[in-house]
Amino acid sequence: MEITLECLPETMSIEGNVLASGLDWQDEQAEAEVYEQLANGNDWAWCMVKVTVTTNDGRQEYDCLGGCSYKNAEDFKTSGYYQDMINTCCASLGL
């Protein structure tokens, strides 16, 4: 079995979607940090994540999660979502 992890561009707006703290200043600060990270080349700062599971016989299933903001791939892998997405794919494949 092969598992691939992809960081894809997110089309959902950053504004209003990064954080919903109830405090405008805190939400705006979080959004500014995402913009800064993107400007510095961190594609993981605002992205859609795609996990694909491919079986040894070539069957394939994928799961996507949008509105993600992480430091890098390793940060995403430790979030808990990564394993959940693998499990979703495996369940769809009957594994």
Q: What is the pTM of this model?
A: 0.90
Q: Do 11 and 23 contact (CB within 8 A), yes or no? A: no
**In degrees, to the nearest 5, what angle opens at C-alpha 8 toward C-alphas 27 and 17?**
20
pLDDT at position 94: 94
> Collapsing DSSP states into helix, strand and coil, what is residue 18?
coil
Q: List pLDDT tens digits, range 37-82.
A: 999 999 999 999 999 999 999 999 999 999 999 999 999 999 999 9
Write the pLDDT tens digit of every residue in 15-26: 999 998 999 999
The confidence score (pLDDT) of residue 1 equals 94
% of the chain with per-residue pLDDT over 90: 97
Alpha-carbon span 56 to 20, nearest angstrom? 42
